[in-house]
Amino acid sequence: MAVLHNRVSQKELKERMLRETEPRTTISFYRYFSITDTKVFRDELYVALEGLGVFGRIYVAAEGINAQISVPASRFEALAAYLRGVQGMEDLRLNVAVEDGGKSFWVLKIKIRDKIVADGIEDASFDMSKKGKYVNAEEFNRLTEDPGTIVVDMRNHYEFEVGHFEKAIEIPSDTFREQLPMSADMLKDQKESNIIMYCTGGIRCEKASAYLLHQGFKNVFHLEGGIIHYANVVKEKGLDNKFRGKNFVFDDRMGERISGEVIAHCHQCGKPADTHRNCRNEGCHLLFIQCEECAKEFEGCCSPECRETIHLPVEEQRELRKGVEKTAGNFNKARKRLRPRLGEK
């Protein structure tokens, strides 16, 4: 019987990955479709992907699949053929990373969830099949040139802060379940307008487009393949790039540059910067933006207090961490929640 989980330490797995000589390709994909038996689906998927040498993080739910993975370059076509051969995943779009060293993952994890995107929707009449119209990169550019078109960013604050499309509206929250009703409320007087929603790879804006239609909006679109696919198409076809800054990604890279501008600022000194870091203090692990100068001064920490902590004996650090909620490493942090930690006014 195949082993459906990892039995090697994370440290050893990462070292093995770093010793690999064959390049890897980082990919993301999702598909909303009905999965009757999520456990059977998960187990079959694990066996197939492990056999192809895939690493990454995949969520499976009755409503579909959401994945961020890497695969040895020589097995990319085999992976694509397998995935597109799964019932419900025909013609699956695979978003290849814009900036890719192939070293983002070192273990394969496939988890069963209630939903592939936590949305807070409890209305039984909500139907994901009634979603907005796809727009490709060319159509997106053309529609956004109309001053009457509304562009809505369905990502979190820390993602929007480092990069977004021109004239995009931010929904000021760091949970998707909060953003859905907020977006409908913010746009309640624009139900007849052209509204284009976008996100990193398409999974959130696709559901958001269905939600707005469910709320009575008429002309709702969503960007096909999200920012990742848009950036690749713009590069391939030489189109005008309407994205400014960096695209935040949920792996060790924490971002891929889409344009040359740096539109964010260091949370400590205020200089232009768009590099996200997690505080080196394991009892904090706060996600924040830090320039190279402050990274040196604070040794990768978010505050003088955390800088002092990392130099304490290991046992003393462990004592300090006891009883601390392990939420600081989460990505759901708006800048307003960073200010008290970073000494801002």
> Mind telling me the catalytic residues?
199
Distance CA 24, CA 53 (A): 10
Distance CA 107, CA 235 (A): 31
Both structure tokens of 17 = 């990955």
Distance CA 257, CA 237 (A): 18
Distance CA 16, CA 122 (A): 44
Cα 76–78–79 angle (5° rounding)?
A: 65
Distance CA 307, CA 176 (A): 33
169-to-197, 233, 247, 329 alpha-carbon distances in Å: 10, 23, 16, 27
174-to-84, 110, 291 alpha-carbon distances in Å: 33, 24, 23
Q: Extract long-range pairs of 77-86: CB within 8 Å, 24+ residues apart.
A: 78/52, 79/27, 79/49, 79/52, 79/54, 82/48, 82/52, 83/29, 86/45
- The three-state secondary structure class of 169 is strand
Contact 198, 209 (CB under 8 A): no
Contact 239, 145 (CB under 8 A): no
